[in-house]
Chain A
């Protein structure tokens, strides 16, 4: 599995023009707020349409302006973990976890295993409103993986958590990084997270990939 992106987009007078590849494992998209990192994820997920370019996962084209291809978000098999967990408030933890699983045509993730991996067994019957921020984020991560995506996007998944909660989640992300055989794009502006999680770093600044990220 590999991931390939080469796109251009314009928002007002802000121009975004990025091209990079990612392989299985965790790749950090690192840069200051407003650099365009989240816009890149939106284009990959199919929420925002690039003006021009091509996005492909594992040989399958998700977007290609020249060929007129633009898959809907639900057809892309791209998992998205948001900064705010967005766990469905009207469903139990278990219903949340199985939401995408039930819809997936090709599954590689087994619920029991993921529930175990993320330490969710005790939470299955709970309602999201009764969970802590860290627990909600773990549910969101499990939910995304159980949809068996070919690519996982993580948009500052720790940014809205306090330090204690961050330390609680990080080991789980490390386990996923080591176990999942898909590329993970991890957006952050926190140096410490990058240092801890990966050596593969793509710097993003002002809508462009920086030539050399430290």
Chain B
């Protein structure tokens, strides 16, 4: 049953790579946005959060289409990246990672924002009176206390990235070995005669990966929470 063909392995490997990179790359901006939304009031705040959460409610194909318009070889950002840095992301696995990051960002920001909002600012004030400046307070108090939400956000983003379909196939198409991630491979197998067997294998594999991610994150969160939260 689990003798995966090289093509199937390639899809799994690619999905893992896309998931990891999109999660890693969206962690810093994700936390920054979550922090800004949790702590500051400013004009157009609802517009900013609307933009971040938009991919959550928009049809994924629309998100992929927007990415194509912006980052495609003829898009303004895509042309800029190519001319200035020589980077092309359209129809590459890096483009798949970008699409996955955009789709995962709302989930990540939401989890982190809730967690940062739950950090008692009185602890930060105590740190300041003990001689810690803003940055030290951030790294020794705020960040560790919001760690459960950071982990939850990262796992959600990874899970979303691992299985993202609509925006990815719209933006970077379906190229085996380059942009054919696991869900796209399943879709392709289902389109071809006799592809049901591989499709089922990959479907089971995706269930396994997702379960491991969920259970792993719950375990990790529990460990962090018992360390951090007063009982």
Q: Encode A61-82 as 1/0 by CB contact (under 8 A) with B.
A: 0000000000011101111101
Q: Give bound CA distance, A15 to B231, whole Å.
A: 40
Are A72 and B131 within 8 A (Cβ)? Answer: no
**A86 — which chain B residues lie within 8 A by C-beta?**
122-123, 125-126
Interface size on A, as a range, is 20 to 34
Q: How far is the CB of B53 from chain A (nearest CB, A)?
A: 30
Are A147 and B122 within 8 A (Cβ)? Answer: no
Interface size on B, as a range, is 20 to 34
Residue in B122, B129, B145 whose beta carbon sits within 8 Å of that of A79 in the complex? B129
A159 interface contact, C-beta 8 A? no
Are A89 and B229 within 8 A (Cβ)? Answer: yes
**B126 — which chain A residues lie within 8 A by C-beta?**
80, 82, 86, 88, 140
* Residue of A74, A76, A79 with most partner-chain B CB within 10 A: A74
Stretch at the interface among A25-33, A98-106, A116-124, A199-207: A98-106
Are A45 and B228 within 8 A (Cβ)? Answer: no
Main SS of the interface on chain B? helix
A90 interface contact, C-beta 8 A? yes
Q: Give bound CA distance, A99 to B227, whole Å.
A: 18
Q: How far is the CB of B109 from chain A (nearest CB, A)?
A: 23
**Given contacts A89-B228, A128-B230, A99 and B132 within 8 Å (CB-CB):** yes
Q: Encode B26-47 as 1/0 by CB contact (under 8 A) with A.
A: 0000000000000000000000
Q: Give bound CA distance, A20 to B100, whole Å.
A: 62
Are A104 and B131 within 8 A (Cβ)? Answer: yes
**B122 — which chain A residues lie within 8 A by C-beta?**
82, 84, 86
Quick one: closest A residue to B224, CB to CB? A90
Are B128 and A74 within 8 A (Cβ)? Answer: yes
**B195 — which chain A residues lie within 8 A by C-beta?**
none
Q: How far is the CB of B122 from chain A (nearest CB, A)?
A: 6
Q: How far is the CB of A211 from chain B (nearest CB, A)?
A: 31
Are A103 and B132 within 8 A (Cβ)? Answer: yes
Quick one: closest A residue to B130, CB to CB? A100
**Given contacts A82-B122, A90-B145, A45 and B231 within 8 Å (CB-CB):** no
Are A99 and B145 within 8 A (Cβ)? Answer: no
Quick one: closest B residue to A80, CB to CB? B129
Are A73 and B228 within 8 A (Cβ)? Answer: no
A47 interface contact, C-beta 8 A? yes
Q: How far is the CB of B46 from chain A (nearest CB, A)?
A: 28
Q: Give bound CA distance, A138 to B140, whole Å.
A: 21
Q: Give bound CA distance, A129 to B229, whole Å.
A: 8
Residue in B127, B129, B145 whose beta carbon sits within 8 Å of that of A45 in the complex? B129
* Residue of A45, A47, A84, A103 with most partner-chain B CB within 10 A: A103
A37 interface contact, C-beta 8 A? no
Are A99 and B129 within 8 A (Cβ)? Answer: no
21 contacts between A and B (CB under 8 A): A47-B128, A72-B128, A72-B133, A74-B129, A74-B131, A79-B129, A79-B130, A86-B125, A88-B123, A89-B123, A89-B228, A89-B229, A90-B144, A90-B228, A99-B140, A103-B132, A103-B136, A127-B227, A128-B230, A129-B229, A129-B230
